[in-house]
Amino acid sequence: MSDNPFSFDGRIRRTEYCLSYIAGWAIQLTLQYLLTDVEFESFIYVLCLIPIVWFLVAQGAKRCHDMGTTGWFMFIPEYLLWMLFAPGNPDRNKYGPSPKMPVEQNI
């Protein structure tokens, strides 16, 4: 996983994006299940949901950056499939070095 998963800077690969997406939704569903009989369920759920949504949006922005586009593209509904299956730019782009390249080649 990336060094700072809540940051909007940098690039991530498809694998990391897919794992982040699955983990975020698994945590959300687990919280939803655990809070079914709790008093103030919706308030606690929304408070717990804020960091999860932030994490998913940050990871989506980094995945868009890997493909050479701005992070705002993730809000286009069909673009989610493109983010899941399209390869990223193999070289350095304006958002940073390629996450596939070794560190010494990114300099």
Angle at the Cα of 62 from the Cα atoms of 57 and 64, rounded to 5 degrees = 95
67 part of a folded domain: yes
Phi, psi torsion values for 66, nearest 5 degrees: -65, -30
pTM: 0.84
Domain that holds residue 54: 14-98
73 part of a folded domain: yes
Print the SS3 string covering 5-42: CCCCCCCCCHHHHHHHHHHHHHHHHHHHHHCCCCCCHH
26 part of a folded domain: yes
Q: pLDDT band for position 105 (50/70/90)?
A: low
28 part of a folded domain: yes
Which pLDDT score, from 0 to 100, does residue 1 have?
60
Residue 28 has pLDDT above 80, yes or no: yes
Q: How many domains does the chain have?
A: 1
Which pLDDT score, from 0 to 100, does residue 76 have?
92
105 part of a folded domain: no
pLDDT in tens, 39-96: 777 788 888 899 999 999 999 999 999 999 999 999 998 998 899 999 888 888 999 8
